[in-house]
Amino acid sequence: MHSQLRITSALLGALICLLYAVAPAAIAEVREQDFLGWPALVLADEQVEAVLVPEIGRLVAFGPRGVAAAGEGNRLWLSPDFFPRPADMPPAVDKEGKRIWRNYGGFKVWPHPWTGWPPDAALDGGATIVTRLNEGIRLQTQRSEALDVEVSMLFKLDQEQRLHIHISMDGSVERAIWPVVQVPGAGHVLAPLDPAQALDKQVTSPHVDGDKLATVLTAVGDDGLHTSRHAATHRKFDLRSQGGWMAHLGPQGNLRLRWPYPHPDLSKHPYDGSFYFNDSNEPARQYLELECYSPRRSGEHSWNIILDLAEDLALP
């Protein structure tokens, strides 16, 4: 295993907790610009850029400096149906007047469990209210009438080129905050697991009875790191991490999703993260999702996650 991966799960968990406790804001610029046909806000420092499109309420790009220019080096997956923005957007409703869900890609937040389909436009794909703050940019959704919930996302960079996302959710029903990070389909998922437990006890598929995770690499020693690539269509796997993170290692570069660890409430969540494979015959439409879950709460509650370029991770 690559020497840079040799860090114990316990130490990694402690480091992640420290990241949430001490996250000095970077001196970042905020600018307005066009991003592949969409009016966008760019949060940038000297090394990384994060691109937000308030019109559809999401982060659409994160990567090295210059990613905002044309998407080169973007660690997020974007649907080719909407990026670049088509001159004629597809219809928003069907012949019966029902909303047609648009999978734009990028990063978004859903409430978990979700009730009904397609997702409410107020929470997924609808316009958000923008607030520029000294420490970053906040996007605020409209309140969903169907779910009686609204979401706020504050984006800021720290001095280590990490993108911190402080998520607040206010709802009348007990739900978890469910961040969803869509990344390109090619590559591997890397996550810290308990080496003393069987893989299928820590990573399970809730949608395919008896399905097994195809492990193509397992770390030695006590790291408990596993990477996998599952080629079947529409497969989701839940995991119980030993460090509060997952990473995608792909040809366009790496992206890591971190969340608070240890999880504050595993009594209602036997898992703290998930990853999901959506394959297609067209490579441009293949994507993965990295997901995590806050404790379930009603009323106003929050969850802090971090995205970084995971330059310390590599496959052997």
pLDDT in tens, 150-168: 999 999 999 999 999 999 9
Q: How confident is the model at residue 207 (pLDDT cuts 50, 70, 90)?
A: low
**316 within some domain:** no
Q: Is the pLDDT of residue 220 over 50?
A: no
Q: Tokens representing 91?
A: 């219809």
Measured between alpha carbons, how far apart are the two ends of the chain, in Å? 6
**313 within some domain:** no
Which amino acid is present at 38?
W
Taken in order 184, 271, 192, 208, is the CA torsion positive or negative?
A: negative
**154 within some domain:** yes
CA separation for the pair 287, 272 (Å, rounded) = 21
* pLDDT recorded at residue 184: 93
Burial group, residue 261, by CB count within 10 angstroms (0-12, 13-18, 19+): buried
pTM score = 0.87
**170 within some domain:** yes
Residue whose tokens read 């990063």:
107
**123 within some domain:** yes
Distances in Å between the Cα of 57 and the Cα atoms of 127, 162, 277 are: 6, 20, 23
Residue 32 structural domain: 3-85+96-308
* pLDDT recorded at residue 269: 78
Q: Is the pLDDT of residue 223 over 80?
A: no
Contact 292, 259 (CB under 8 A): yes
* pLDDT recorded at residue 306: 99
Buried b (16+ CB within 10 A) or exposed e, 277-312: bbbeeeeebbbbbbbbbbbbbeeebebbbbbbbbee
* pLDDT recorded at residue 176: 94
Which amino acid is present at 290?
L
Phi, psi of 5 (to 5 degrees): -90, -5
**91 within some domain:** no
CATH of the domain at 297: 2.70.98.10
The count of C-alpha atoms lying within 13 angstroms of the C-alpha of 145, restricted to the half-sphere facing its C-beta, is 1
**131 within some domain:** yes
Q: How confident is the model at residue 56 (pLDDT cuts 50, 70, 90)?
A: very high
**31 within some domain:** yes
Domain count of the fold of the chain: 1
